Structure 1
Amino acid sequence: MGAAIYLALVGGGLVAAIAASVVLRSVKLI
């Protein structure tokens, strides 16, 4: 179970990083 939780946290971190980069790009475009 620990591995599954770790993978979930890493996956969530990647998604958050991608979302943050997209938001920053959109802000730069405005």
Structure 2
Amino acid sequence: METNRQKKIGGVIQKDLVDILQGEVRKNGVSNL
């Protein structure tokens, strides 16, 4: 079982990854995802 702390950290990491990916998409002008 994950602790609440682990879930929170996992959510933050996931959000960061999404933000990074979206930034890359904007930077590269990729529009066909």
TM-score of the aligned structures, taking structure 2 as reference length: 0.75
Count of residue correspondences: 26
State TM-score, norm by structure 1.
0.81
Q: Which has the higher contact order (CA 8 A, sep 6+)?
A: 2
C-alpha distance in structure 1 between counterparts of 2:9 and 2:16, whole Å:
11
Q: Is there any run of 5+ residues in structure 1 with no aligned partner, and where?
A: none
| Shift >6 Å, 4+ stretches | none
**Other-structure match for 1:24:** 27
Uncovered stretches (5+) of structure 2, i.e. residues with no partner: none
Q: What is the percentage of aligned positions where both structures have the same residue?
A: 12
